[in-house]
Amino acid sequence: MCVIRIRLGILGADDSLPIIQSVVEEYKEFVCLPVVYWNESEILDLIRPLASEVDMWLFSGQVPYSIAKQSGEIEVPLFYVPHTGASLYRTLLQAYYTNQIPISQLSFDTYERGEVERLLEEADIKEPVPHIKHYEGGISAQELASYHYDLWRQGKTKAAVTCLRTAHLEMEKMGMPVYRVLPARSAVEAVVQTIIRTGEMLHVQDAQVAVQMIEVDSMMITSPEAFSTDEIYKMELKATEKLLQYTKKVQGSLKCAGPGRYVIFTTRGALKEMTASYKTIPSEEEMAHLYDEIVACGIGIGRTAYEAEIQAGKAFLHAKHCGRGAWMVAFDDGTIAGPLGKGERIRYSLGDEELRQLASRTSLSAATLGKLQAVLRKRGKNEIEAHELAVYMGILPRSARRILKELEAAGLAEAIGETSPYPRGRPRKVYRIFL
């Protein structure tokens, strides 16, 4: 059986990264790209340059994982090593063995209270755990350090137990006793097995059928003097020849679907590679210098050729709305992404049940609300003004204003202020969105 090769980015603190890397390197499926971080604010800047070199990311804990996930920028699978019971047992043993500190005089973070109590019960340790700061997602090192420090300064605890390295370093600067929970090898191995299974699944997915629907207009590059039918026919033949060259590069087959419209049947993996995981459009050389003639392109992913062709049609129609030369991708999970190669590229739902219910309160479609939701997620906040929304959605500012006013009328948005980008321009209303 062929062994899959996974380019795995591993991002962790200086003390946890070597532990994780030593386990991962025991598996022949991985090519490791280790990255050390010292501050949560630099995580995305460390990840971005490796976007095209990494198939999946493994993080040393839930904080860096949450920062990457919530950014909406990372489109490959993400994993993190949980701080399991084995990790905590080791730390508690260290605290008691070195300084005889009872559990009741320690402050903890990350874990849920019930989780710690259950671990102690399994070890037949009957001590209260009064000080735990549980959190979901990300948290700042300063907030965690302040929580532990305040308890220690008040004499309620003798030391802290933290899962976050940056908080650990912060507390050491403050001069308080602190113990760091490091990942257990067993926890790393469990996550590694999940990553391998995910890689195998994605390998199978790459063999799925993908369909590319392209519309070309050869007359756009024809000079006014060359409007004879013979000249136009020659231009169409030339465009078809270029498409055949491109089709060969994606190992597909070309089919004419009407005047100026073509369908290419290929595989998901081929188009994924050609578009850098659906982020960019192929280079001019890869497209056989066909750029000027492309009106719109839609890529469809599906479990069958028929389903992929239907998805390609949806993507194609969305591309037409985005302007000449736009590329869009419709996936088999009901989401659509694009325009490829643009800074305002987003991935949004074509309409789940919740969005359909919200759409029923307005004249807007569930797809429009899904696009708006994706824009807000990419921006990292739920406040926006019409001109910004127009840029992201590829529509006119007046259309964006209509969307925002429609949401406001339905109670799904409120005007919270104004901004004046130009000294003499009219102020622009800023809206807070409630989806």
How does pLDDT run along the chain (435 residues), one tens digit per residue?
456 789 999 999 999 999 999 999 999 999 999 999 999 999 999 999 998 889 999 999 999 999 998 887 787 899 999 887 778 888 888 888 788 888 889 999 998 888 888 888 887 877 888 899 998 878 899 999 999 999 999 999 999 999 999 999 999 999 999 999 999 899 999 999 999 999 888 888 888 889 999 998 866 555 555 556 667 677 778 888 888 888 898 889 998 887 888 999 998 888 988 888 888 888 888 887 777 788 899 999 988 888 899 999 999 998 988 888 899 999 988 888 888 988 778 887 776 777 788 888 888 888 888 888 888 887 778 888 888 888 888 788 888 899 999 888 888 888 888 877 666 667 788 888 887
Q: How far is CA 404 from CA 236, 369, 378, in A?
A: 43, 11, 18
CATH for 206-342, options being 2.30.42.10, 3.30.70.270, 3.40.50.11270, 3.30.1600.10: 3.30.70.270
Other C-beta atoms closer than 10 Å to the C-beta of 139 total: 19
Show the tokens assigned to 405: 């006013």
**Fold entry, domain 85-180:** Rossmann fold (3.40.50)
Segments making up each domain of the chain, as ranges:
6-81+186-204, 85-180, 206-342, 349-433
Q: What is the CATH number of domain 349-433?
A: 1.10.10.10
Superfamily of domain 6-81+186-204: Response regulator (3.40.50.2300)
Local structure of 298: helix, strand or coil = strand
Residue 365: DSSP 8-state: -
What does the alpha-carbon distance between residue 10 and residue 22 come to, in Å, rounded to a whole number? 11
- Do residues 393 and 379 make contact, with C-beta atoms less than 8 angstroms apart? no
What does the alpha-carbon distance between residue 326 and residue 249 come to, in Å, rounded to a whole number? 20
Per CATH, 6-81+186-204 and 85-180 having the same topology is answered: yes
